[in-house]
Structure 1
């Protein structure tokens, strides 16, 4: 069985700014829950929610939202916590998006730099014919509370698009790779579009014609300044997150069906041969990293939803379900169907 965890940074090392979920303590108190006690129970300081720029381990946010859903009985609490969150709460990255020349340019910046706000997931943005897709992939498939984080992330994505697209914008569809909560009314109300659960991705879908729309009030000088700021942050963190960044880029390309060694190398400004040599110097190969990324994505889909094996195979770039099943058995030692029965996540 191939090892697919080699070289991966521990999930505990990935952090996220609390800005997106800043409303969570207030929701807990509104339901009669001692928010301070719950925050302390998961090992976080109570004061961490006092300012949106504070950071916490990504895994702790998942644990906290999972417990919050259990204690309140709100299986959609991740959505509720982020329904009022917009660009401002994304910090520098949010301001960068809002000051981009066009909607498409803003979403490209979001894809490139959201990891400075959220290290535990990979956003992606691409076109599918006349449609545009903005998605969000949690990097750790076994994360407790992952579905709550995704519910909140797509709530923020909808708000972000409404802000930068302006009057008249509407989503066409929303997809979740998780089972539907018992009550989906808040999803329908917030997204104002058809919401599909048990899908093969977590994404919002809208009209691609909007991508060329100028963002009202965007300041080109401020945008250039912010771009220099985020690039400097990336430069300072390059040594610490190099391998994690490669896997994040690969997860994004996998989601957009553009993954190949040439494409990944191009994303880092290298040719295929130079990129392969760099990976070898770090004790890994493209195939090993691709297996790890595919295995993570597969486990997330199998655990969280009842999406068909054919759709999972297609999502991961396999010719058919049989080819995917062979690869999955090599990674895990079990068929996808058997693994799903043993690891099904109940919401």
Structure 2
């Protein structure tokens, strides 16, 4: 299977293209993707094709720093479950561990490695995509997002010592210095952001309020079609609690739906993992769902169905690939579940949907 990413990687792409008077829709089509990826953040897309889109945009804009500049539009909370886990970390050391272990939740093909010396932390970043020859735009976007995250999570006094790239020095080296406001080294043994070792045990600035505000802003009203396809649509704006006891800190049930949708790419949609991401005990989450006459399985079915319909309507992804990326064992299991919930097979539903366009 190809390496996949959430279409949230395109956040800011349209705006940045506009600054350079280039057409984002034409670029996306040229890279082999559908323009719908510019409007929906939760679709599964080829990470290789996204890299191709970045390369095309960099060439058409005559701006080799296009990927790095795009990172300015990416708040780390846009990273879905990865951003959630990072926001709950208690130390820099825990953030680095989470980044290494769970970066695949946002984009597959990315590898993060942390190397420690007596004086420095090397946060090494690598993109491995067999189908893409030039990954520098992806590397610079990813490293730019990491810089944004650390600038938000820690005080200005904890800024990196320098940033280094494994590529040879470019002719526009001064542009990197101006954009990053950091010493920049090239021809290094790895792509890395380098921090002082003292940062390792530091605690990040609490992000609880920002976290809640961000995810509530993502909970846009559902379409009529999506509402018709949930057996619990009347509960879209019901609340569950972020903590074990307080009734003053509430959020919509759609918050949990959003998290489950972001987790589909990881196939780790368990009650325990979901409860951890909303910062409550699994039994508490289970009880809150029961109060709304929902089981975790019913909620997961609903989220899978919504994402399945999005892909069947807006993408050309094969049924097998879609099944695997929704967390089903195979196409047969997916088709059985889809027909149980809709009365139609995925292929039939896709054809009917296309005929209605």
TM-score (norm 2): 0.57
Is 1:212 the counterpart of 2:201? The answer is yes
Name stretches of at least 5 consecutive residues in structure 1 with no aligned partner: 1-9, 238-347
Does the 8 Å CA contact 2:167/2:188 hold for their aligned counterparts? Answer: yes
SS state at 1:200 partner: coil
2:40 counterpart of 1:59: no
Paired residue secondary structure (2:69): helix
Pick from 181, 187, 200 the counterpart of residue 189 of structure 2.
200
Quickly say closer, same or farther: Cα 1:22–1:232, change in 2 above 3 A: closer
Larger gyration radius, structure 1 or structure 2 = 2
Alignment match of 1:107 (pick from 96, 114, 118)? 96
- Alignment partner, residue 276 of structure 2: none
Distance 1:223 1:58, change over 3 A: farther
- Measure how far apart 1:52 and its partner are: 3.2
Q: Report the Cα offset of residue 27 of structure 1.
A: 1.7
Match of 1:163 among 152, 156, 159: 152
* Deviation of the 1:218 alpha carbon: 5.3
Q: Distance in 2 between matches of 1:235 and 1:85?
A: 24
Task: Give the Cα–Cα distance (whole angstroms) in 1 for the partners of residues 71 and 138 of structure 2.
Answer: 9
Deviations 1:203-244 (A, max 9, x none): 10011111111122256x9799x9x9799975649xxxxxxx
Query: Which residue matches 2:249?
Result: none
Equivalent residue, structure 2, for 1:146: 135
1:74 paired with 2:71, answer: no
Q: Deviations over 1:261-281 (max 9, x none)?
A: xxxxxxxxxxxxxxxxxxxxx
The equivalent of 1:132 in structure 2 is 121
SS in 2 for 1:83: helix
Q: Within the alignment, does 1:191 sit opposite 2:218 as a pair?
A: no
Which one of the candidate residues 29, 38, 47 is aligned to 2:27? 38
Q: Which runs of 5+ in 2 are unaligned?
A: 209-240, 245-255, 270-357
User: Could you tell me which of 161, 174, 179 is aligned with 2:163?
Assistant: 174
SS in 2 for 1:94: helix
Alpha-carbon distance change, 233 to 51 in structure 1, aligned in 2, over 3 angstroms: closer
For residue 81 of structure 1, give the secondary structure of its aligned residue in structure 2: helix
CA contact (8 A) 1:173 1:205 kept: yes
- On the 8 A contact 1:79/1:187 being kept in 2, the answer is no
Q: Counterpart in 1 of 2:84?
A: 95
> How far is the alpha carbon of 1:118 from its aligned partner?
0.9
Distance 1:233 1:152, change over 3 A: closer
Deviations 1:309-341 (A, max 9, x none): xxxxxxxxxxxxxxxxxxxxxxxxxxxxxxxxx
| Aligned-partner SS, 2:113 | strand
Tell me: CA distance 1:192–1:130, structure 2 relative to 1, closer, same or farther (3 Å).
same
| Alpha-carbon distance between aligned partners in 2 of 1:212 and 1:47, rounded to the nearest angstrom | 42
1:74 aligns to what SS in structure 2?
coil
For residues 145 and 50 of structure 1, do their structure 2 counterparts lie closer, same or farther at Cα, with a shift above 3 Å needed?
farther
Distance 1:63 1:218, change over 3 A: closer
Residue 155 of structure 1: how far off its partner (Å): 0.8
Q: CA deviation at 1:156?
A: 0.8
How far off is 1:141 after superposition?
5.6
User: Does the CA-based 8 Å contact 2:3-2:46 persist in structure 1?
Assistant: yes
Rounded Cα–Cα distance in structure 1 between residues aligned with 2:139 and 2:167: 9
Q: Where has structure 1 moved over 4 Å in runs of 4 or more?
A: 221-224, 228-237
Normalised to the residue count of structure 1, the TM-score between the two structures is 0.58
Deviation at 1:126, TM superposition (A): 2.8
Greater RCO (Cα-Cα under 8 Å, separation 6 or more): 1
TM-superposed deviation, 1:24? 2.1
- CA shift, 1:147, in A, is 0.5
SS at 2:157 equivalent: coil
Distance 1:102 1:195, change over 3 A: same
> In structure 2, which of residues 79, 83, 105 is the aligned counterpart of residue 116 of structure 1?
105
**CA spacing shift, 1:71–1:104, aligned 2, 3 Å:** same
